Structure 1
């Protein structure tokens, strides 16, 4: 059981190191397996290797701790290691290819509800506040008819990077 626990701790240490210098470690792994291109990339990233090693060690330790035979401990460790290694690879790929935290644009506001902050005159601009991606954003707004402050509106279009068109929200009749 001690050997499996040591393997699990080594895997956790590798996971922690991969959080800090993961790209550097991944470059070393890619360099070592350069002639075997199918091994490089996400399959043998430091996070996937760390996930496999730690789950293998702790999975085997659990089975041996429950008085299971060593071959069963190795089998359970391999299955757990493959599952956690795959999950670490999937999560790493998801984080690398995910969207960045780019600033919201008025195009993202089209179709959302907003609130008028300053009055929108008949032939001019007012200001509306819209919650966009969890952020409260204000845009200059133009409407076909005058709109008073506090009125709920719907963003209908984009005039510029700082201005949108809006229309009052229809209230349901009782």
Structure 2
């Protein structure tokens, strides 16, 4: 039984070192081969951590305790499962929640407020700058109401047609009447 524990410990340690050194390459080659859709708990790093902890606990319990082989096996399995839970909730889940993307979809821009940087003529195109928490973007704009809009004017994005933002001038008076 001890040889199985050693195999799990050494295999898990080798996987950890290889994934540290060649992590991006392995991630690209495996590309989710060990992941189940909708189940984040079975990620390779969680499984490897669990197997390594199982092997290490098995060795320690076999050598330094007077427990029977079956009791040691069950306790090692429980320690491996506890390690998997710890790795998942202490590493995987926080890292997944920390992903910040500066990308956006053009369809998400409807309803956002922007500022005209290049005047928008009645029938033609100008540019509008939209600010995000991660920065700002400048996009091509046309007038929704077919009225000219001067540079510096605040506008609301009504919709997006063929990659062009259709905007209408933002009137502050609307809020004062409410």
* Alignment TM-score, normalising by the size of structure 1: 0.55
Counterparts in 2 of 1:105-144, with a 5 A limit?
105-131=105-131, 134=134, 136-143=136-143, 144=145
| Structure 1, unaligned runs of 5 or more | 28-39, 96-100
User: Residue deviations 1:103-160, cap 9 Å, x none?
Assistant: 7453232222211111223333221012469453222212223322222211111232
Aligned to 1:170: 171
Q: Quick one: structure 1 residues 56 and 135, their matched pair in 2 at CA, closer, same or farther if it must change by over 3 Å? A: farther
The alignment yields a C-alpha RMSD, in angstroms, of: 4.5
CA contact under 8 A between 1:110 and 1:158: conserved in structure 2?
A: yes
User: Residue deviations 1:40-75, cap 9 Å, x none?
Assistant: 8437764343221344467x49x98xx998749635
Aligned to 2:79: 77
Structure 1 CA distance, aligned partners of 2:161 and 2:28? 42
Q: Quick one: structure 1 residues 133 and 9, their matched pair in 2 at CA, closer, same or farther if it must change by over 3 Å? A: farther
Q: Quick one: structure 1 residues 55 and 148, their matched pair in 2 at CA, closer, same or farther if it must change by over 3 Å? A: farther
SS of 1:123's partner is coil
Structure 1 CA distance, aligned partners of 2:81 and 2:125? 63
Q: Quick one: structure 1 residues 23 and 16, their matched pair in 2 at CA, closer, same or farther if it must change by over 3 Å? A: farther
Structure 2 CA distance, aligned partners of 1:160 and 1:173? 34
State the Cα distance separating 1:16 from its structure 2 match: 4.1
| Structure 2, unaligned runs of 5 or more | 37-41
CA contact under 8 A between 1:57 and 1:77: conserved in structure 2?
A: no
Aligned to 1:49: 47
Structure 1 CA distance, aligned partners of 2:167 and 2:65? 68
State the Cα distance separating 1:165 from its structure 2 match: 0.6
Structure 2 CA distance, aligned partners of 1:68 and 1:151? 77
Q: Quick one: structure 1 residues 129 and 102, their matched pair in 2 at CA, closer, same or farther if it must change by over 3 Å? A: closer
Q: Quick one: structure 1 residues 134 and 57, their matched pair in 2 at CA, closer, same or farther if it must change by over 3 Å? A: farther
